[in-house]
């Protein structure tokens, strides 16, 4: 095995990231001069010394990154693995832009390190939340032919499979959308997770879920978003803070869900999307939270909101439903056409009155929680025109969430696959803005 391949094993020894809090400067105090005087092998490859000793404490990962930077500067050392390890430390603490800039410097001639550049590409795509580029890099890595006579073990003595780093990339893929420190080397295969990408049957299964339970961290709810209010009453959660709401919802009544979202503003700390948050769930409950986490293999879908423009179709639906009900109920059989028209108009008038009362509430809610217009207006993705036939659901991307959610902190957001990856019957389209 070539020397350049052996140097790549160092990246496997870093170990999984661990959640960390505010750094304790006393804990991160080290003899910097002694460490900076080490030779490169001792500084980078000693699994119990060098910068790694400092990085063992999750609170000290940023200090470890700075230590590697200072070592490179002092020794004018541009060894690729030093740059890579500094990038990993910065990615671990959320310094994403800095990490990407470092990783970009780590590509090598493809003939000297087979598969390495594809691993670099996959890691950068993960940090950029570019699912399409990630899948392309993963596919390219999986096709790298195994060198003749390849036999290698990691620093712990375990056999390393080929291609190198494919298992790491697969872990990033399973936890796509989560922070690097959680996904790198530490991402389990979720039990019962839907197939990727979402299928029609998966969508039906998620939409049919029903749950209302108290958990150690808060509330677990699945079902019609308008029924969340009843669930919170059942659990005695109508007042005071809610630490976490884990939700699976196909949506529900816009007016009822909007009213509940306004009540939850300031009370709901973390909303976790488990599988699906669609329609009114996405419109209102998601922006109402202080923090948001969209789990792997979970989808946020938008398709409209309370709107005078969209009310034309809703009025026609009311007209159809009233006449259909009248034909099947005893009270409707003897109604004249004029009486049926009057009953239909009364239903439409009641709908219009409710809409006029709710739109100002929605506008106020949007001013408080959103920094874009297209979250509640999917027509904006088609230059103000009605979406084409067969286009039903806007797949919210991490970029759109970051752009639009002004009052909620997006902690993790699993990026959906490319639009063409889904069954056309789902009617999905990705954000065009």
> Predicted confidence band at 269 (pLDDT cuts at 50, 70, 90)?
very high
Backbone dihedral angles phi then psi of residue 51, each to the nearest 5 degrees: -70, -25
Please tell me the distance from the alpha carbon of residue 146 to that of residue 216, in angstroms, as a whole number.
47
* Mean pLDDT, residues 272-286 taken together: 95
Closest to 8 (Cα-Cα) out of 144, 207, 190: 144
Q: What is the DSSP letter of 243?
A: E
Least confident of 16-30, 37-51, 56-70: 16-30
Q: What is the pLDDT of residue 186?
A: 59
Q: What is the pLDDT of residue 336?
A: 83
Q: How far is residue 431 from each of residues 300, 388, 404, 418, measured CA to CA in Å?
A: 11, 14, 12, 11
pLDDT in tens, 150-198: 776 655 555 677 888 887 888 888 778 788 887 886 565 554 455 567 8
Q: Which residues pair with 299 in a beta bridge?
A: 276
Q: What is the pLDDT of residue 107?
A: 92
3 state SS of 412? strand
Q: Which residues pair with 246 in a beta bridge?
A: 220, 272
Closest to 164 (Cα-Cα) out of 172, 152, 173: 152
Domain locations along the chain: 3-183, 200-307+364-430, 311-359
Answer yes or no: CATH 1.10.15 is held by domain 200-307+364-430.
no
3 state SS of 153? strand
Q: β-strand 409-413 against 291-294: which pairing, if any?
A: parallel
Please tell me the distance from the alpha carbon of residue 33 to that of residue 37, in angstroms, as a whole number.
6
pLDDT in tens, 359-370: 999 999 999 999
Longest CA–CA span in the chain (Å) reads 97
pTM: 0.56
CB-based contact 220:243 (threshold 8 Å): no
DSSP per-residue string spanning 361-411: HHHHHHHHHBS-STTS-GGGGGTTSPPPTT--EEE--HHHHHHHBSSSEEE
Q: What is the pLDDT of residue 250?
A: 94
Which one of 255-269, 337-351, 413-427 scores highest in mean pLDDT? 255-269
CB-based contact 268:289 (threshold 8 Å): yes
Closest to 183 (Cα-Cα) out of 222, 218, 134: 134
Q: 3 or 205, which is more confident?
A: 205
CA 98 to chain centre: 21
Please tell me the distance from the alpha carbon of residue 291 to that of residue 270, in angstroms, as a whole number.
5
C-alpha angle with apex 324: 321 to 325, nearest 5 degrees?
Answer: 85
> Predicted confidence band at 42 (pLDDT cuts at 50, 70, 90)?
very high
Does pLDDT of 283 surpass 70? yes
């Amino acid at each position: 095995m070539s020397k350049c391949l052996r140097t790549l094993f160092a990246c496997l020894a870093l170990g999984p990231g661990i959640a960390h809090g505010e750094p304790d400067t006393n804990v991160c105090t080290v003899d910097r001069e002694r460490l900076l005087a080490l030779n490169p092998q001792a500084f980078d490859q000693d699994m119990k010394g060098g910068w790694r000793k400092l990085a063992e404490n999750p609170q000290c990962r940023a200090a470890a990154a700075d230590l590697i930077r200072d070592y490179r500067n002092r020794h004018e050392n541009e060894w690729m693995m030093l740059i890579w390890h500094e990038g990993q430390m910065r990615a671990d603490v959320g310094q994403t832009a800095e990490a990407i800039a470092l990783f970009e410097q780590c590509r090598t001639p493809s003939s000297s390190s087979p598969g390495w550049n594809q691993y670099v590409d996959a890691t950068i795509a993960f940090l950029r939340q570019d699912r399409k580029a990630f899948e392309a890099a993963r596919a390219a890595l999986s096709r790298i032919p195994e060198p003749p006579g390849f036999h290698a073990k990691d620093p712990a003595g375990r056999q390393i499979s080929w291609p190198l780093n494919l298992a790491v990339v697969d872990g990033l893929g399973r936890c796509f959308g989560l922070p690097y420190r959680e996904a790198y080397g530490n991402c389990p295969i979720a039990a019962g997770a839907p197939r990727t990408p979402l299928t029609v049957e998966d969508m039906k299964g998620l939409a049919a879920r029903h749950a209302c339970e108290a958990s150690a961290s808060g509330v677990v709810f699945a079902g019609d978003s308008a029924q969340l209010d009843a669930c919170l009453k059942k659990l005695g959660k109508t007042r005071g803070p809610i630490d976490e709401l884990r939700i699976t919802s196909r949506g529900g009544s816009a007016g009822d869900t909007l009213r509940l979202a306004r009540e939850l503003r300031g009370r709901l700390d973390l909303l976790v999307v488990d599988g699906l948050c669609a329609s009114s769930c996405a419109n209102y409950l998601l922006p109402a939270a202080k923090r948001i986490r969209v789990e792997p293999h979970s989808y946020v879908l938008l398709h409209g909101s309370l709107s005078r423009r969209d009310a034309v179709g809703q009025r026609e639906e009311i007209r159809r439903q009233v006449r259909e009900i009248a034909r099947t109920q005893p009270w409707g059989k003897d109604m004249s056409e004029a009486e049926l028209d009057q009953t239909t108009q009364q239903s439409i008038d009641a709908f219009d009155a409710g809409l006029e009362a709710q739109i100002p509430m929605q506008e106020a809610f949007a001013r408080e929680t959103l920094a874009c217009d297209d979250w509640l207006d999917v027509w904006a993705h088609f230059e103000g025109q009605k979406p084409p036939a067969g286009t039903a659901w806007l797949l919210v991307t991490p970029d759109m969430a970051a752009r639009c959610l002004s009052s909620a902190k997006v902690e993790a957001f699993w990026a959906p696959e490319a639009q063409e990856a889904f069954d056309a019957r789902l009617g999905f389209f990705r954000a065009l803005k």
